[in-house]
Copies of this chain bind each other. A is one copy, B any other.
Amino acid sequence: MPRRTKAEAEATREALLDAAEDVFLEKGVSRTSLEHIARHAGMTRGAVYWHFKNKADLFHAMLDRVKMPLQQIIDDITAERQASGPLNTLRLATLHAFEMLERPRSCRVHTILIHRCEFISDINPVELQNRLASDCREVVRRCFQQAHDEGLLIDEVTPDVATLMLHSMIGGLVHDWLRTPDNYSLSAHGGEAIDNLFYLITRHAQV
């Protein structure tokens, strides 16, 4: 059994995570055995246990390889708050999250999270999503509140309604797209829907 360098061990760990992405995506998390992941990576099951405590640990490590789209939106909003106005901030943050999500690994991992897993030991993917959704909704609502206070939203749309509409549309676009990510571009289609929504709720100068 050749002893490995640190770099080689790290490469093994990455190979296992890559394999997990592929196999989880293909078979779903529950029906994937650690043996299968190991073989897919050209290793044995012992190597999986050397690097990860169990399937849940492996799953967590896989999730940590990407940033959640809603977390991406929160970060962008927080970072760009003063940059280009609240509505544009929101819009750009959403479009950016779509772009990030279209990266192969992000797409894979999020498909697994949304469509390929139920519970993993003590991990509840639904709660994970819920927490992020709540956080994001709050950040978005504050941004819409600011837009409203600055008179940028049309009168008929409150910050709460705007938040509800944007948030649900993002969720629907992402879930739909993740079901068949090769069929169309999230950025293009999703971006179009989002741009239209912002157009509709934005107060335009009267001419």
Enumerate chain A interface residues (CB-CB to B < 8 A): 27-31, 115-119, 125-126, 129-130, 133, 156-157, 161, 164-165, 167-173, 175-176, 179-180, 189-190, 192-193, 196-197, 199-201
Contacts and interface: CB of A to CB of B under 8 A. Distances in A.
A125 B189 CA distance: 24
A172 B194 CA distance: 13
> What is the total number of copies of this protein in its complex?
2
B115 A116 contact: no
A165 B169 contact: yes
Nearest to A197: B165
Given A29-B118, A164-B193, 5 more contacts: A31-B118, A115-B126, A130-B180, A165-B196, A169-B169
A175 B165 contact: no
Contacts of A189: 164
A21 to B, nearest CB: 15
A174 to B, nearest CB: 8
